[in-house]
Chains A and B, each alone.
Chain A
Amino acid sequence: MSHIFRGAPLGPESLRQLFPVTRSCKLFATSHYHRTVHVPDGFIDAPTSVVTGAVAAAAVAVSLRGARRELDERTAPLAGLVAAFIFAVQMLNFPVAAGTSGHLLGGALAAILVGPFTGVLCVSVVLLMQGILFADGGLTALGVNITNMAVVTTIVAYGFFRALVKLLPRTGRSVTIASFVAALVSVPAAALSFTLMYAVGGTTDVSIGKVAGAMVGVHILIGIGEAAITALTVGAVIAVRPDLVYGARDLRQRLKLRVNGALVDAPAPEGARTTPVAARASRRALWITGLVTSLVLAGFVSFYASADPDGLEKVAADNGIDKKAEEHSSADSPLADYGVKDVDDARLSGGLAGVIGVGVTVVAGSTVFWAVRRRRTADDVSPVSTSV
């Protein structure tokens, strides 16, 4: 660790300057719990709290099963220690400028480092303990908090991370980029899901456009900080223990042997299955084409299309049918009529809504796809793994 000591050797006087005794003692005493802002009681009405509670309970139940499948009886100590890590790292202050500082929320980091199941569990446990021990976040709002900050953040982050890792070339740098984007998207996604809950069960009628604008705007800023810290931290872990990064397990380099001065591939261990390179490349091309096409269609085409009424809507307007038509029950939702509220330009708004919609659909679709494929590969592998 010699690089730490480069520069002039420190004499006792300069040491005292750098590390005054009185100051250090004070710091010890004040290393206390650094709170994050969680939703309190009374913010979301009782029925919505019950529903989100049920959603959170279901997600935690699924994660418990998933984590146990991955970690067996190691689940409790490992998830517990990772939860303690998340709890501690939320207290690590990252100075921004002029006395302000940010800190990690940790959902995306947990998802990338230990996987979505264990990640959901760790963040949920942290939120539960913060609610009960530190009165941070209302007890009836636990469902809201867990759904937003543990479930939505983790799933969105992991979905984006895996998609990007698959799309980008297999290098260390793309893992950094993927974790940056994943964390960047995950924070506004949680804000958006909170806005949705607020639209359904908010106790004050602030217009949803205002809530969404303020929440998403602020959280994009927070998300940038979160993204930078997450990417740097994931990079630091990958540099030392790449095997511990759950999201990048399949990026591990093949073992090479140096034989007579030339590098050769080590013989693959028995039972290891490798996808042929051609198949992998074609699948990646398919992913990229699909994603780009749908983004272009949703964003670009609806930019021009959405200012005109839909065919059926136009017919209805011409014939006066729509006077009787009742507003759809979700007409107040932020994506109602495929336009983002409070964004004045109809075309821009429609395009934005299209991109958001495609994003949500892609995440949902690839989650299903991924789950099904995982199950299939698990079935394929099981006879092999018993023989090893």
Chain B
Amino acid sequence: MKKFFVATSVVAALAGSTALADDHLSLEGKTIGVAVVGTQHFWDREAFNGATDKVEELGGTVVAVDGGRDNQVHADNHDILLNRGVDAVISILGDGSVEPKFEALSAADIPVFTVDHPSPHSVNNTTSDNYYMGTTIGRYMADAIGGKGKVAVFNAFENSLRICGTRTGLWKYVLQDYPEIEIIQPELAEEFANAPEDARRQTLDLLSQYPEGTIDAIHVSCWDQPAIGVVQALEETGRTDIVVTALDGGPETLEIMAEEDSPFVANVAQQPRLIGATAAENVARFFDGETLVPQTYVDVVPVNGQAEAMEAYEALGYGSLD
């Protein structure tokens, strides 16, 4: 509880102090391209809105392109920004297919700022503290199952998205200290586009393979959209003794966590709107001549159990769950 208040007050203090210090920031007369991989999911949409709102607040003009949750379309969209001749690009998420596009933009002297996508071609990457996310969810999950048992993991992106590599890698690192926890092989791979429904189907298959008492937790290692489907499958089959953990902590999953006897017990909430806005501020800082660090980390809010889910929901401005 105390830790939670510390976390949120730190966030508030940070937000306040940057607002004061950055009064002079401006994107007046600049056209900023904002490319986002999709806007269907809360996280993507919020990061996108955070970035575009901040660009406009700072007096810039936004050219937005949306990949419709298709990585290839998202990558191709950068060509359009290049052709439009924008002053800078903010690129949100995306897999390896965007790298050649970043290279082309940099070659044309258009600086690239990324969100959740570290790249050698980007001036700065704004992201959550993924290290803390990975270790925290590892500890919470281990605690929730008493330090032993079998865990299934949805892990489609560990090798393709660096942020997921960090989160999953550190989750596994923590589990090394719990020798009695076993990760079920093969690991599961969720779909990128229709994650909740796909994860529901895969969980049903998993449950028929592992009868009652032979599986203790299901973890989604990089985000939490699949966890929505996982919880559905557990409720359909009455196997809510299985613990669910995931990352991102958007309002729809915090709501599930806040339900009575929810199997969804732990999460780490991000602040996607703040991340998007911070990326936009970084663009302004860059044009102001400031030297940026390669990675800007935005604080996260650990959420352990029902009560903290309700608190986080309110603290992050999603409303009230009482």
Do A and B pair up? The answer is no
